[in-house]
Amino acid sequence: MYEVTLKARAKINISLDVLRRREDGYHDVKMIMQTVELYDKVYMRKTRKQGIFINVNLRWLPTDDKNLCYKAAKLLMDSFQLEDGVYIDLYKKIPVAAGLAGGSSDAAAVLVGINKLFRLGLSKDQLAEFGKQIGADVPYCIMRGTALAEGIGEQLTPLKAFPDCYVVLAKPDIKVSTPWVYKNLQLQNVDKHPETDHLIEEIEKNNLKSIANQLCNVLEEVTIKEYPVINEIKRTLIEQGALGSLMSGSGPTVFGLFDDKNKAKEAVAYIKNNGIAKHVFFSSIYNPRG
């Protein structure tokens, strides 16, 4: 095998709870993660020339060791002393710094791609161990599907597949710093935490409406106060027929869950026409088969 094309899919948070701040500065979390159909395209091929060569459709993104794809490729290539090089062409569709794990998913795809191209024979669990060295979301992006994430996000428990539904994703034209959000989170002032265990029960029952009613992300306490447009998008999605709406990760992307395809598409058109968000996508839940 000399080339491979992979889909690096986005994730959303069905719930996100922060339990405590750790002594190392990180936070212990408990959250339900879900993959959606929106994806970046990652084309990779082996080269006789040694090195890692990256091309990205967004010219302002780095293509050196500041890029997570570069870090992922270098990690495996150094670990296994691979002599050939690799060319990576990254076509980004997932918005950058959006709370959708786009960069982590791209890095996960590169780990999978190197494993295939160089026939390393690594299992998903082994790839996930390498992924932990790149970022907390990378192991999940290798697993994909529906999962409970604990620790700093790297402790994963697969869950029953999430109910099929349509997902509208809307990112306003703002940038949110994840470290800033966590730094400003005052856990003692958080009024509402997700009922994560009950959400898992409802996922097992395939009860989409109940799940949508219980969407909860404690980081909204920080981000919405600073950027009220996030709440405006949530409200708009509900008005347009979403069963439930939530900010994903530390933001600023907001998603809505729909059981009606036409309503979801109409919501996309409404948000675009009214300029409420810079990036708007019609998508759906992605559950790996087999």
Active site residue 171: no
Structure tokens at 151: 């620790």
* Alpha helices, DSSP H, located in the chain: 68-79, 102-117, 124-132, 138-143, 178-183, 196-204, 208-213, 220-226, 229-239, 261-273
Active site residue 137: yes
Strand 85-91 vs strand 52-56: parallel, antiparallel, or unpaired? Answer: parallel
Q: Of the listed 11, 92, 171, 234, which one is catalytic? A: 11
| Residue 28, phi then psi, degrees to nearest 5 | -80, 130
Pair 261, 9: CB distance under 8 Å? no
Q: Of the listed 17, 71, 137, 171, which one is catalytic? A: 137
Residue 168: count other Cβ atoms within 10 Å of its Cβ. 30
Q: Which residue type occupies 243?
A: L
Whole-number Å distance between alpha carbons of 230 and 172: 7
Whole-number Å distance between alpha carbons of 183 and 197: 26
Q: Which residue type occupies 92?
A: K
Pair 260, 166: CB distance under 8 Å? yes
Which positions are annotated as active-site residues? 11, 137
